[in-house]
Amino acid sequence: MPLNLNDTSPLSPGKAPLPIRQVERREWWLWGFAVTVTLALTAGIVFLSYFGEHAETTAPYWTDPREWVRGLAAFVLLFDLYTMYQHLQLQRVRRQLAHRDQLFQLITENAADMIAVVDSEGRRLYNSPAYERVLGYTAAELSASSSIDQIHPSDRERVLQAAAKARTTGEGQRLDYRMRHKDGTWRILESSASPIQNVHGEIDRLVIVNRDITERKRAEEKLAHSSFHDGLTDLPNRALFVDRLQH
């Protein structure tokens, strides 16, 4: 199932806050609307006050302008209270978004696994500090390169196919591949890719979680080798001979 980073419901039991750009647009709209309505109502109050002083108040159809002024003043007060309430709601959303970002940063910067976010073109949008600890690359060095530049040429096609499948199906993908260390050696990574939805429900990013399993793979290969070779001479043993006959 695709991730939706705009959903912060775990941080709040209420409705999930809006994404930051929507919050900003809503805040600007609310501010502009409040100014427009306040100016219009103020102009109405001034007009009625002036008109009431100069109009013929004995006309049967005329209502005392002071009633209109009091009504408009009450409406302005109610609207200001509504605007204040909306502003407080937006401030609450901002605090929740800030808390979510701090939590995400705390998790990613202290995780042993390497965490990255890439867009649909393979550009790196985020790289956790673990990349430098494990592979030697700084965040600036990784951001200046494509997400497949450091992947072994023989593994690139599999990685691209897995990424494409994650974007088209919305399902996470897992695979192992080799990635070049800054010193030129190759490390074996166990990788999982999870698609992320934008505010329109479209998958436009992937969260990549990589774990270095080089030592584990070497230990497995060494164990497999020792199972079929003599410990002293390193020559093939009877187990290897039987295995070859069976297969």
Q: Tens digit of pLDDT for each residue in 164-203? A: 999 999 999 999 999 999 999 999 999 999 998 887 788 8
Distance in angstroms (rounded) separating the CA atoms of residues 33 and 45 = 18
| pLDDT recorded at residue 77 | 75
CA neighbor of 154 nearest in space, from 178, 134, 186: 178
**pLDDT digits 0-9 by tens, 196-240:** 888 778 888 999 999 999 988 888 777 776 666 556 665 565 554
Backbone angles phi, psi at 4, to 5 degrees: -130, 100
Our measurement of the distance from residue 20's CA atom to the centroid of its chain's CA atoms, rounded to an integer in Å, reads 11
Whether 54 shows a pLDDT value over 60: the answer reads: no
**How many of the other CB atoms lie within 10 Å of CB of 211?**
17
Model confidence, pTM: 0.55
β-strand partners of 43: none
| pLDDT recorded at residue 155 | 96
Distance in angstroms (rounded) separating the CA atoms of residues 143 and 182 = 14
CA angle 105, 22, 206 (to 5 degrees): 45
